Structure 1
């Protein structure tokens, strides 16, 4: 048995781990990056990129199907095997790019295997070798959850984001469990490609939406594309060549496959954080400071999906950098800069959640896209949103579900990050006819409510239905 030594050990070679290793090494630390597979990031392999490739194929089919509204006849002929073949081909390009990044790390700094704590500054590898380290970054990512009511389904019929993209062809029918971002995206993508889809969730609002008017607009669209069962208590089991899903008062239906998107809890099995003296919460996640990402006062930091704080790629990259820097400088630890919270779901229409959305503490104003010029032009007369501001008019957050919400969300996130007010945004140019114009009624309403409203803010412009 050998004992290796380093300044900073990083457990996990995903987005957060790669970011932490790079930042620690740039800070002058000797690093060891430990991963059992070095397969690539979740984003490239089973997350952001393959899911968007499936959505892109669905968008192409949906555009062809909806072309009749414009006097164009183009019924789509969907080749399920061809869709997934292209998806995997392009996905593998993204994965190779990640592998190139990993290959840039010196071979001596990489260890293939699993690691577990045997002390606050010591790890044991499955080979029996040990690592003495000044500090450790936990960046083990997350794995799909399979709740008990769905475990009776056999593996070949039970899908997750880690298996869906490797199917030889599209299934004829799928029940999707979970209407969060992942389940919602995949349910709509599959439905757009001609798959019979039923979407189930125990909550009554899909996509993490909290504003009833915004959620209603999305649900109205979903109900035209699939069977939608919200507030449903669901279970499933094998049924001949398919899966029988049962919900609520004994209703049931059979599908070819079951896609479980019921969350991705941190992958901390076998890490044994208690032996490092780390206190954990009820979910087994080490208690940590969100600013510095330090676990208690131990020389241990946790970043990315492993801490379940902001499980998004851009957040994992930022957290990895903060954790790597603090691990290299330990015990001189400080809070890193965190940008405004910002999440996008690539549903159709898209969802953008920005910053604070505390309806009881903030000013709020709604906006709608139905009836607006650009929405009518593109036959996408749906979408709603709500903007939030401090009492002085400074923008605080937004919840939007509308065509182009990924771009609207960026504009609003940048405005919140820069401390802009609703009036500041109205001072910016708005081109006509654009989706962005739909924000102006809400911005004007926030100005009228705030203590800093100017006379021109009170003009009643941009009424829905105007060109």
Structure 2
């Protein structure tokens, strides 16, 4: 068995691992990057990018179908499933190739392919060929889909988001389990491309939404496009001729069975740490067998081991994975001088239509942080000027502020241009602006962001700081 001595070993060549590698290499050339699968990040292969390609096709089809709203008709709309999926795969492959080329530029002696497992706190075995003794170790092994046992009864008709992007054509029907980010994005996209969709959830959640007013609004909107029961009572899932039969309670006591061509399991993800023999790392584990770590330094206890990205199951978002790779890489490189890294304001976007966005603290977190001393401002986009002009006037934005200080604390939104408004709010939260300071910023007319101004005015009034907002469409007239 080959034996190697390095300063830092990084397990996983995804987003977090690649960023960590680049940070470590600034300090030492004695580093290895270990990858068990194909190069190319989750985002590029099966996550952010291919899903947005499918959504872009769905948005195009949906936009054409709504032409009559503006007095425009393009005739019958036809969705060519084969061409849709061909473009998804082709563009996806371009993104993956770009990532692969980046990794392949790393020196060959720094790259090792194979499954790594701990043989001791400082020892890793890769496959059965290489033993690595590392002064510091970074775990960046990512995550994988988590599938409840009863869904496996769908057998060969069970698919994950990983599988969808390999389809050669669109199916006739799909049942989706899990109205989280992945389920909502893919389910709505498939529905708008002509696929019959039904969605089931457990516990009542709709995506990452925590504000009950917005959850109810979003649930109503989604149900106008396809059936979505976020707290369903599914009795059976079974493989039958022609697909997957799902038996569920429809209403109070009425049992119903529907058959679908495929079952999409979008039921969350689990960290890839269970194959690492993590018990040999001599670090504290929680009740789920995951390493206990400091979220500011990403250090596991007082050890020389760091964990970042989806592997720590904290913030499974690409920009967070990149930040965590930077923090873990810096600390592994400078160990034992371990320091807290910059954690940015929480920001998350779901690319449904309308979009979902959350910024800063959730309403529950605001309540705890402010001991109940907070206020809420809101705006409906149903009568917002620019939103009505472009026919995207569905949505609700709620913003939260602290009594006394007038500090902006966070927001949730289900509405048009949420991906852009969320960035403005995240920048404001990170700069620790008050609501009054945010209202001093320029707002052009007519834009959707004027709706944000309305919500902030409402919040300032409820904080007993600003005046009572004028009635009517204060977003539409000049000089407001």
Shorter chain as denominator, the TM-score bin is over 0.9
Among residues 444, 461, 467, which one is paired with 1:458 in the alignment?
A: 467
1:34-62 per-residue CA deviation (whole Å, 9 max, x = no partner) reads 00223300000000000000000000000
In structure 2, C-alpha distance between the alignment counterparts of 1:336 and 1:427, rounded to whole Å: 31
TM-score by length of 1: 0.96
Q: Which moved more, 1:415-424 or 1:244-253?
A: 244-253
In structure 1, C-alpha distance between the alignment counterparts of 2:375 and 2:121, rounded to whole Å: 46
Among residues 345, 348, 355, which one is paired with 1:340 in the alignment?
A: 345
- Structure 1 match to 2:398: 386
- Structure 1 match to 2:38: 38
Preserved contact between residue 371 and residue 465 of structure 1 (Cα < 8 Å): no
- Structure 2 match to 1:16: 16
TM-score by length of 2: 0.93
In structure 2, C-alpha distance between the alignment counterparts of 1:112 and 1:272, rounded to whole Å: 18
Preserved contact between residue 378 and residue 459 of structure 2 (Cα < 8 Å): no
1:308-361 per-residue CA deviation (whole Å, 9 max, x = no partner) reads 110000000000111011111122111111001111000110011111123533
Q: How does 1:148-167 map to 2 (within 5 A)?
A: 148-155=149-156, 157-167=157-167
In structure 2, C-alpha distance between the alignment counterparts of 1:209 and 1:296, rounded to whole Å: 32
- 2:403 paired with 1:402: no
SS of 1:135's partner is strand
In structure 1, C-alpha distance between the alignment counterparts of 2:70 and 2:419, rounded to whole Å: 25
Preserved contact between residue 177 and residue 264 of structure 2 (Cα < 8 Å): yes
In structure 1, C-alpha distance between the alignment counterparts of 2:475 and 2:32, rounded to whole Å: 61
- Structure 1 match to 2:297: 292
- Structure 2 match to 1:138: 139
Q: CA deviation at 1:459?
A: 4.5
SS of 1:284's partner is coil
Among residues 348, 365, 389, which one is paired with 2:377 in the alignment?
A: 365
In structure 1, C-alpha distance between the alignment counterparts of 2:84 and 2:224, rounded to whole Å: 23
SS of 2:323's partner is helix
In structure 2, C-alpha distance between the alignment counterparts of 1:319 and 1:466, rounded to whole Å: 40
Among residues 331, 335, 345, which one is paired with 2:336 in the alignment?
A: 331
Q: How does 1:2-401 map to 2 (within 5 A)?
A: 2-74=2-74, 75-155=76-156, 157-234=157-234, 235-248=236-249, 250-359=255-364, 360=367, 361=370, 362-391=374-403, 392-401=405-414
Preserved contact between residue 265 and residue 308 of structure 1 (Cα < 8 Å): yes
Among residues 406, 415, 428, which one is paired with 1:415 in the alignment?
A: 428
Preserved contact between residue 343 and residue 352 of structure 1 (Cα < 8 Å): yes
SS of 1:271's partner is coil
Preserved contact between residue 29 and residue 328 of structure 1 (Cα < 8 Å): no
In structure 2, C-alpha distance between the alignment counterparts of 1:247 and 1:278, rounded to whole Å: 44
Q: 1:447 to 1:11 in 2, by over 3 A?
A: same
Q: Which moved more, 1:399-408 or 1:282-291?
A: 282-291
In structure 1, C-alpha distance between the alignment counterparts of 2:40 and 2:335, rounded to whole Å: 28
SS of 1:105's partner is coil
Structure 1: 5+ residue stretches without partners = none
Q: CA deviation at 1:27?
A: 2.5
Preserved contact between residue 441 and residue 462 of structure 1 (Cα < 8 Å): no
- Structure 2 match to 1:424: 437
In structure 2, C-alpha distance between the alignment counterparts of 1:29 and 1:443, rounded to whole Å: 51
SS of 2:207's partner is helix
Preserved contact between residue 13 and residue 38 of structure 1 (Cα < 8 Å): no
Q: CA deviation at 1:97?
A: 0.7
Q: 1:466 to 1:99 in 2, by over 3 A?
A: closer
In structure 2, C-alpha distance between the alignment counterparts of 1:251 and 1:465, rounded to whole Å: 49
Q: How many residues align?
A: 462
In structure 2, C-alpha distance between the alignment counterparts of 1:260 and 1:23, rounded to whole Å: 36
SS of 2:411's partner is strand
SS of 2:162's partner is coil
Q: CA deviation at 1:246?
A: 2.3
1:47-80 per-residue CA deviation (whole Å, 9 max, x = no partner) reads 0000000000000000001111111112321000
Preserved contact between residue 454 and residue 475 of structure 2 (Cα < 8 Å): no
Q: CA deviation at 1:233?
A: 3.3
Q: 1:236 to 1:265 in 2, by over 3 A?
A: same
In structure 2, C-alpha distance between the alignment counterparts of 1:265 and 1:251, rounded to whole Å: 32
In structure 2, C-alpha distance between the alignment counterparts of 1:462 and 1:327, rounded to whole Å: 57
In structure 2, C-alpha distance between the alignment counterparts of 1:236 and 1:355, rounded to whole Å: 39
